[in-house]
Amino acid sequence: MSARFSERLQVLSEGDNRACLNQIQHGIEKEGLRVTPQQKLSQKAHPEQLGSALTHPYITTDYSEALLEFITPVYRDAADALDFLSQLHTETLNNMPEGEVIWTTSMPPVLEGDDQIPVAYYGTSNTGKMKHVYRLGLAHRYGKAMQTIAGIHYNFSLSEEFWSLMQKADKADSLSAMDYQSTGYFAMIRNFRRYAWLLSYLFGASPALDKSFLYGGDGHGLDELDEETLYLPWATSLRMSDLGYTSDAQSSLPVCYNTLDNYVNSLWKAIHTPYAPYKNIGTGPNGEYRQLSSNLLQIENEYYSTIRPKRVTRTGEKPVVALKERGVEYIEVRSLDINPLMPLGIDLNQSLFMDTFLLFCALQDSPEISEQECLDITNNFTLSVREGRKPGLQFQDGDSSREFVEWATELFELMMPVARLLDQANNTDAYSKSLNLESNKLSDVSLTPSAMILAELQKGKTFRKYSLEQSARHAESFQNNPLHSERVTYFTEIAEQSHKDLASKEEADTLDFETFLQEYFSAEEISV
């Protein structure tokens, strides 16, 4: 344990200082495909009873018209976020086409080619058209299959009081409060990336997939489990492997999260840098848009990463501009699979562990990442998602390699005093209990979700059959716990208001779409 880490822990344990640790803010975003009883992607439009996907605050769509996205409000207590997420599942299942379920695994069901993956539609407003065209661009750049992969995003923020205490402890008086907070979040992000392999092992839940995901392609390096299922014997998260959110174009972006300016400038440059292969995509029939631009990135969100620095944007404001002007407000963890063993795909124990892990990442020393370490981090993570449960697995740590269990055990020991601080601040023992529970997976690999799922598949169930059974079982559990009448009324009113908001947005537009895009991309220039 370093002197700086110890000093920060000491500061937080003094007097009333630990109270800042019961002010952590949480929000959860969860994706889930609407799937038919035939284990295929729904071809039906987003249910009108659920409101407008463009303007509903909690229920929307991601890439596909069939890919639901649930967004909880921000809560101090993670249990409240999970409870709201449960209500969103129940409300949605009650208003979906008969027979459809919310697919409970990250990897998709039976896919029948790009023509059978409907791109999400958001109406005729310029904002809605922009969201739709952006998704068309993703299809042309990466293919549609990759866009049907679903996951959980865990949003996390520490209070301004926490950052003020840390700034005093670090004697960082030369920085403004905003700059110190941003610097602190980027330090957290760097450590997250250093240790993200641990999360893959503990929570990875996509060791297998349906053959149709690859559209009959070969060269994937996967093994055949049965006539419908592909897998890797030691995999934890194929969702996060090179089968999922990766691309040759994005691998050229020099983003290792050393500073906010570096991050913002890298993304800004990518959004404004022409990329020849994308220029060849051209336009569609009658000059219709097939992408927002032919640049390396269409918008910031196209950059796939395991974690993002975030700031709530103002109307029409670009995310990079918000970060540049007002600093980092929270972080978004994007590497979590949906766990099909759990109705919500995540539970309170995992959330408590995530809080401990992320706070540890904020408190632990976090030097800037060199070019070599950046490569090592990428290689370690790749190993963890493809071979994370392999006995004797070695990761690179500086100039030497380290055995997985040894390194993971050390991290758990370092995290325990952080968990105890969270326990004391919240008058509970739940954080240290969650740490102890997860540590059992280090000595017994069969307790990991990826191992448990593979064990079920190896009993003779195909991936598609297993996933449908779990999806139906979870749907039944939600529907057996109906919402109170006032909650039904609440969600009904929100859905109705979202349709009104959509109509108002469409009526208010005065610019043609081409001019709208030109103004959007030319506004709020920043220096690179």
The answer to whether position 66 is within a domain reads yes
Pairing of the two strands 330-336 and 152-157: antiparallel
Residues 104, 107, 112, 117: what is their CA dihedral angle, to the nearest 10 degrees? Answer: 80
The answer to whether position 120 is within a domain reads yes
Specify the pLDDT at position 112.
93
The answer to whether position 525 is within a domain reads no
The answer to whether position 283 is within a domain reads yes
- Alpha-carbon distance of 102 to 470, in angstroms, equals 10
- Alpha-carbon distance of 335 to 320, in angstroms, equals 21
The answer to whether position 517 is within a domain reads no
Q: Which of 426, 418, 366 is nearest to 170 (CA)?
A: 366
**110 SS3 class:** strand
Give me Rg for the CA atoms of the chain.
23
**CATH code, domain with 51:** 3.30.590.20
Q: What tokens does 4 get?
A: 């700086």
Tens digit of pLDDT per residue, the chain (528 long)?
Answer: 788 899 999 999 998 999 999 999 999 999 999 999 999 999 999 999 999 999 999 999 999 999 999 999 999 999 999 999 999 999 999 999 999 999 999 999 999 999 999 999 999 999 999 999 999 999 999 999 999 999 999 999 999 999 999 999 999 999 999 999 999 999 999 999 999 999 999 999 999 999 999 986 665 889 999 999 999 999 999 999 987 655 667 766 767 799 999 999 999 989 988 998 999 998 777 779 999 999 999 999 999 899 999 999 988 788 999 999 999 999 999 999 999 999 999 999 999 999 999 999 999 999 999 999 999 999 999 999 999 999 999 999 999 999 999 999 999 999 999 999 999 999 999 999 999 999 999 999 999 999 999 999 999 999 999 999 999 999 999 999 999 999 999 999 999 999 999 999 999 999 999 999 988 888 656 654
Query: Total domain count for the chain?
Result: 1
Specify the pLDDT at position 523.
66
The answer to whether position 271 is within a domain reads yes
What range does the domain containing 413 cover? 3-508
The answer to whether position 520 is within a domain reads no
- Alpha-carbon distance of 314 to 524, in angstroms, equals 13
CA 187 to chain CA centroid, nearest Å? 19
The answer to whether position 524 is within a domain reads no
